[in-house]
Structure 1
Amino acid sequence: MLAKPHRITRGADYRATVRRGARFTGANTVAYVRLNRDSDVVRFGFIVSKSVGNAVVRNRVRRRLKAAAYEVLPRLQSSAAAGPGIDIVIRALPASAQVRWATLHEEVSGAADRFLRRHTTSSRETRRSVTTEGNVRP
Protein backbone atom coordinates (compact mmCIF):
# COMPACT_ATOMS: atom_id res chain seq x y z
CA MET A 1 0.00 0.00 0.00
CA LEU A 2 1.29 3.42 -0.87
CA ALA A 3 1.56 5.80 2.08
CA LYS A 4 -0.37 9.06 1.91
CA PRO A 5 2.68 11.22 1.00
CA HIS A 6 3.21 9.02 -2.06
CA ARG A 7 -0.30 9.48 -3.48
CA ILE A 8 -1.58 12.23 -5.74
CA THR A 9 -4.82 13.39 -4.17
CA ARG A 10 -5.72 16.67 -5.85
CA GLY A 11 -7.36 16.91 -9.26
CA ALA A 12 -5.10 19.81 -10.22
CA ASP A 13 -2.04 17.61 -9.73
CA TYR A 14 -3.57 14.87 -11.90
CA ARG A 15 -4.34 17.39 -14.65
CA ALA A 16 -0.89 18.97 -14.52
CA THR A 17 0.82 15.59 -14.77
CA VAL A 18 -1.36 14.34 -17.62
CA ARG A 19 -1.10 17.60 -19.58
CA ARG A 20 2.57 18.44 -19.04
CA GLY A 21 4.15 15.10 -18.24
CA ALA A 22 6.12 12.83 -20.51
CA ARG A 23 3.91 10.06 -21.86
CA PHE A 24 5.00 6.42 -21.95
CA THR A 25 2.58 4.09 -23.69
CA GLY A 26 2.36 0.36 -23.10
CA ALA A 27 -0.04 -2.28 -24.36
CA ASN A 28 -2.17 -2.05 -21.20
CA THR A 29 -1.30 1.28 -19.58
CA VAL A 30 -0.31 4.83 -20.34
CA ALA A 31 2.02 6.47 -17.82
CA TYR A 32 2.43 10.24 -17.51
CA VAL A 33 5.52 11.33 -15.61
CA ARG A 34 6.70 14.82 -14.68
CA LEU A 35 9.12 16.48 -12.31
CA ASN A 36 7.34 18.29 -9.49
CA ARG A 37 9.49 21.16 -8.28
CA ASP A 38 6.99 21.94 -5.48
CA SER A 39 7.65 18.61 -3.79
CA ASP A 40 10.56 16.35 -2.96
CA VAL A 41 8.72 13.00 -2.90
CA VAL A 42 7.61 10.53 -5.54
CA ARG A 43 3.82 10.44 -5.88
CA PHE A 44 1.55 8.11 -7.85
CA GLY A 45 -1.98 8.54 -9.16
CA PHE A 46 -4.18 6.02 -10.95
CA ILE A 47 -6.95 6.44 -13.52
CA VAL A 48 -9.10 3.37 -14.11
CA SER A 49 -12.21 4.25 -16.10
CA LYS A 50 -15.44 2.31 -16.56
CA SER A 51 -14.21 1.08 -19.93
CA VAL A 52 -11.87 -1.28 -18.01
CA GLY A 53 -14.81 -3.17 -16.48
CA ASN A 54 -17.25 -3.17 -13.60
CA ALA A 55 -16.30 -1.96 -10.12
CA VAL A 56 -14.81 -5.27 -9.05
CA VAL A 57 -12.54 -5.43 -12.11
CA ARG A 58 -11.56 -1.76 -11.86
CA ASN A 59 -10.61 -2.14 -8.20
CA ARG A 60 -8.56 -5.26 -8.94
CA VAL A 61 -6.67 -3.43 -11.70
CA ARG A 62 -6.10 -0.42 -9.42
CA ARG A 63 -4.79 -2.66 -6.61
CA ARG A 64 -2.42 -4.37 -9.02
CA LEU A 65 -1.14 -1.04 -10.31
CA LYS A 66 -0.65 0.18 -6.74
CA ALA A 67 1.33 -2.95 -5.87
CA ALA A 68 3.53 -2.43 -8.93
CA ALA A 69 4.05 1.22 -8.01
CA TYR A 70 4.98 0.23 -4.45
CA GLU A 71 7.75 -2.00 -5.79
CA VAL A 72 9.08 0.68 -8.18
CA LEU A 73 8.96 3.42 -5.52
CA PRO A 74 12.38 2.80 -3.84
CA ARG A 75 14.22 3.04 -7.19
CA LEU A 76 12.48 6.31 -8.02
CA GLN A 77 13.08 7.72 -4.53
CA SER A 78 16.80 7.09 -4.74
CA SER A 79 17.03 8.93 -8.06
CA ALA A 80 14.91 11.86 -6.83
CA ALA A 81 16.60 12.14 -3.43
CA ALA A 82 18.67 15.22 -4.23
CA GLY A 83 16.29 16.93 -6.61
CA PRO A 84 12.65 17.67 -7.24
CA GLY A 85 9.91 15.13 -6.71
CA ILE A 86 8.33 13.01 -9.41
CA ASP A 87 4.61 12.70 -10.13
CA ILE A 88 3.40 9.64 -12.03
CA VAL A 89 -0.17 9.10 -13.23
CA ILE A 90 -0.95 5.67 -14.64
CA ARG A 91 -4.01 5.30 -16.85
CA ALA A 92 -5.28 1.73 -17.22
CA LEU A 93 -6.45 0.78 -20.70
CA PRO A 94 -9.34 -1.70 -21.17
CA ALA A 95 -6.91 -4.55 -21.97
CA SER A 96 -5.41 -4.25 -18.47
CA ALA A 97 -8.36 -6.17 -17.02
CA GLN A 98 -7.22 -9.41 -18.66
CA VAL A 99 -3.47 -9.31 -18.03
CA ARG A 100 -1.49 -10.70 -15.13
CA TRP A 101 0.11 -8.63 -12.39
CA ALA A 102 3.61 -9.31 -13.73
CA THR A 103 2.70 -7.69 -17.04
CA LEU A 104 1.38 -4.57 -15.33
CA HIS A 105 4.50 -4.48 -13.16
CA GLU A 106 6.73 -4.63 -16.26
CA GLU A 107 4.87 -1.71 -17.85
CA VAL A 108 5.03 0.47 -14.73
CA SER A 109 8.68 -0.39 -14.17
CA GLY A 110 9.50 0.18 -17.84
CA ALA A 111 7.88 3.62 -17.84
CA ALA A 112 9.84 4.60 -14.74
CA ASP A 113 13.09 3.34 -16.26
CA ARG A 114 12.51 5.21 -19.53
CA PHE A 115 11.77 8.42 -17.65
CA LEU A 116 14.88 8.06 -15.49
CA ARG A 117 17.05 7.41 -18.56
CA ARG A 118 15.59 10.39 -20.37
CA HIS A 119 15.86 12.63 -17.33
CA THR A 120 19.45 11.73 -16.43
CA THR A 121 20.59 11.86 -20.08
CA SER A 122 19.03 15.28 -20.72
CA SER A 123 20.46 16.76 -17.52
CA ARG A 124 23.92 15.36 -18.36
CA GLU A 125 23.78 16.84 -21.88
CA THR A 126 22.71 20.20 -20.47
CA ARG A 127 25.66 20.19 -18.07
CA ARG A 128 28.07 19.34 -20.90
CA SER A 129 26.80 22.09 -23.20
CA VAL A 130 27.29 24.93 -20.72
CA THR A 131 30.83 26.09 -19.99
CA THR A 132 31.99 27.54 -16.68
CA GLU A 133 31.61 31.09 -18.00
CA GLY A 134 27.95 30.46 -18.77
CA ASN A 135 28.42 30.56 -22.55
CA VAL A 136 26.87 27.84 -24.61
CA ARG A 137 29.29 25.75 -26.65
CA PRO A 138 28.72 25.68 -30.40
Structure 2
Amino acid sequence: MLEAVHRMRSSEDFRATVRGGVKVAQPTLVTHVLPPSADHAPASTSVGFVVSKAVGSAVDRNRVKRRLRHLMRDRLDRVPAGSRVVVRALPSAAAAASSTLGEQLDSALWKAGGGAGPRAADVRGAR
Protein backbone atom coordinates (compact mmCIF):
# COMPACT_ATOMS: atom_id res chain seq x y z
CA MET A 1 0.00 0.00 0.00
CA LEU A 2 2.95 2.34 0.47
CA GLU A 3 3.29 2.69 -3.30
CA ALA A 4 -0.23 4.16 -3.42
CA VAL A 5 0.62 7.03 -1.06
CA HIS A 6 1.94 10.41 -2.04
CA ARG A 7 3.31 13.18 0.10
CA MET A 8 1.14 16.20 -0.12
CA ARG A 9 3.25 19.11 -1.37
CA SER A 10 0.90 21.64 -2.94
CA SER A 11 -0.40 24.41 -0.68
CA GLU A 12 -3.70 24.16 -2.56
CA ASP A 13 -3.99 20.46 -1.59
CA PHE A 14 -3.32 21.34 2.05
CA ARG A 15 -5.83 24.21 1.93
CA ALA A 16 -8.56 22.10 0.28
CA THR A 17 -8.08 19.29 2.79
CA VAL A 18 -8.13 21.59 5.81
CA ARG A 19 -11.17 23.53 4.55
CA GLY A 20 -13.21 20.64 3.21
CA GLY A 21 -12.13 17.72 5.35
CA VAL A 22 -13.40 16.38 8.65
CA LYS A 23 -11.42 17.99 11.48
CA VAL A 24 -10.64 16.11 14.67
CA ALA A 25 -8.64 17.74 17.46
CA GLN A 26 -6.59 15.79 20.00
CA PRO A 27 -4.27 17.09 22.75
CA THR A 28 -1.14 16.63 20.60
CA LEU A 29 -2.44 16.87 17.03
CA VAL A 30 -5.23 18.01 14.76
CA THR A 31 -6.19 15.73 11.88
CA HIS A 32 -8.12 16.65 8.73
CA VAL A 33 -9.43 13.86 6.48
CA LEU A 34 -10.97 14.56 3.08
CA PRO A 35 -12.44 11.38 1.59
CA PRO A 36 -12.46 10.92 -2.18
CA SER A 37 -15.43 12.37 -4.05
CA ALA A 38 -16.59 12.86 -7.63
CA ASP A 39 -14.78 16.22 -7.71
CA HIS A 40 -11.64 14.82 -6.10
CA ALA A 41 -10.90 11.20 -6.97
CA PRO A 42 -7.12 10.76 -7.02
CA ALA A 43 -5.65 7.34 -7.68
CA SER A 44 -3.75 7.34 -4.40
CA THR A 45 -3.97 8.58 -0.84
CA SER A 46 -2.13 11.83 -0.07
CA VAL A 47 -0.75 12.58 3.38
CA GLY A 48 0.74 15.85 4.57
CA PHE A 49 2.16 17.04 7.87
CA VAL A 50 2.22 20.53 9.35
CA VAL A 51 4.73 21.09 12.14
CA SER A 52 5.15 24.76 13.00
CA LYS A 53 7.98 26.50 14.82
CA ALA A 54 5.80 26.52 17.93
CA VAL A 55 6.61 22.79 18.26
CA GLY A 56 10.30 23.51 18.84
CA SER A 57 13.65 23.75 17.14
CA ALA A 58 14.26 22.36 13.65
CA VAL A 59 15.58 19.17 15.22
CA ASP A 60 12.43 18.79 17.33
CA ARG A 61 10.14 19.53 14.37
CA ASN A 62 11.87 16.99 12.14
CA ARG A 63 11.75 14.37 14.91
CA VAL A 64 7.99 14.93 15.31
CA LYS A 65 7.49 14.68 11.52
CA ARG A 66 9.45 11.42 11.34
CA ARG A 67 7.46 9.93 14.20
CA LEU A 68 4.13 10.98 12.70
CA ARG A 69 5.15 9.68 9.25
CA HIS A 70 6.04 6.31 10.76
CA LEU A 71 2.78 6.14 12.73
CA MET A 72 0.69 7.15 9.73
CA ARG A 73 2.40 4.57 7.51
CA ASP A 74 1.06 1.83 9.80
CA ARG A 75 -2.45 3.29 9.67
CA LEU A 76 -2.91 3.90 5.93
CA ASP A 77 -5.20 0.90 5.56
CA ARG A 78 -7.64 2.64 7.92
CA VAL A 79 -8.15 5.56 5.56
CA PRO A 80 -10.36 5.21 2.45
CA ALA A 81 -8.21 4.85 -0.68
CA GLY A 82 -7.84 8.15 -2.49
CA SER A 83 -8.34 10.27 0.62
CA ARG A 84 -6.30 13.30 1.58
CA VAL A 85 -5.04 13.52 5.16
CA VAL A 86 -3.35 16.46 6.89
CA VAL A 87 -1.89 15.96 10.37
CA ARG A 88 -0.96 19.16 12.23
CA ALA A 89 1.27 18.68 15.25
CA LEU A 90 0.61 20.84 18.29
CA PRO A 91 3.43 22.00 20.58
CA SER A 92 2.67 19.20 23.05
CA ALA A 93 3.57 16.61 20.37
CA ALA A 94 7.30 17.22 20.88
CA ALA A 95 7.19 15.85 24.43
CA ALA A 96 4.57 13.14 23.85
CA ALA A 97 5.50 9.47 23.71
CA SER A 98 5.07 7.71 20.37
CA SER A 99 2.44 5.46 21.95
CA THR A 100 0.43 8.55 22.93
CA LEU A 101 0.74 10.01 19.43
CA GLY A 102 -0.35 6.67 17.97
CA GLU A 103 -3.40 6.40 20.23
CA GLN A 104 -4.45 9.95 19.41
CA LEU A 105 -3.92 9.39 15.69
CA ASP A 106 -6.03 6.21 15.89
CA SER A 107 -8.78 8.10 17.68
CA ALA A 108 -8.67 11.01 15.22
CA LEU A 109 -8.84 8.72 12.17
CA TRP A 110 -11.73 6.78 13.69
CA LYS A 111 -13.67 9.97 14.52
CA ALA A 112 -13.01 11.36 11.04
CA GLY A 113 -14.59 8.26 9.54
CA GLY A 114 -11.42 6.51 8.49
CA GLY A 115 -11.77 3.72 11.01
CA ALA A 116 -9.15 2.37 13.39
CA GLY A 117 -9.03 -1.39 13.07
CA PRO A 118 -10.81 -3.75 15.48
CA ARG A 119 -11.91 -1.00 17.86
CA ALA A 120 -13.85 0.78 15.10
CA ALA A 121 -15.42 -2.49 13.99
CA ASP A 122 -16.54 -3.26 17.55
CA VAL A 123 -18.03 0.19 18.03
CA ARG A 124 -19.78 0.22 14.65
CA GLY A 125 -21.07 -3.30 15.22
CA ALA A 126 -22.62 -2.25 18.54
CA ARG A 127 -24.84 0.44 16.94
TM-score, scaled relative to structure 2: 0.79
- 1:67 is matched with which residue: 56, 67, 70? 70
Say whether the 8 Å CA contact 1:40–1:86 is kept in structure 2.
Answer: no
In the other structure, the counterpart of 2:57 is 54
Amino acid at match of 1:65: L
In the other structure, the counterpart of 2:94 is 97
* Structure 2 CA distance for aligned equivalents of residues 22 and 53 of structure 1: 27
How many residues align? The count is: 111
Say whether the 8 Å CA contact 1:29–1:90 is kept in structure 2.
Answer: yes
Structure 1 outlier segments of 4+, above 3 Å: 2-5
* Structure 2 CA distance for aligned equivalents of residues 94 and 3 of structure 1: 31
In the other structure, the counterpart of 2:41 is 38
Amino acid at match of 1:21: G
* Structure 2 CA distance for aligned equivalents of residues 66 and 52 of structure 1: 16
TM-score, scaled relative to structure 1: 0.73
Q: Where do 1:1-138 residues align within 5 Å?
A: 5-36=5-36, 37-76=40-79, 79-80=80-81, 85-116=82-113
Of stretches 67-76 and 93-102 in structure 1, the one that deviates more from structure 2 is: 67-76
Alignment CA distance shift 1:31-1:117 (3 Å): closer
Q: Deviations over 1:18-48 (max 9, x none)?
A: 1111100000000011123231322210000
Q: Max radius of gyration: which structure? A: 1
- Specify which structure has the higher proportion of helix: 1
* Structure 1 CA distance for aligned equivalents of residues 16 and 94 of structure 2: 26
Percent identity of equivalent pairs: 38
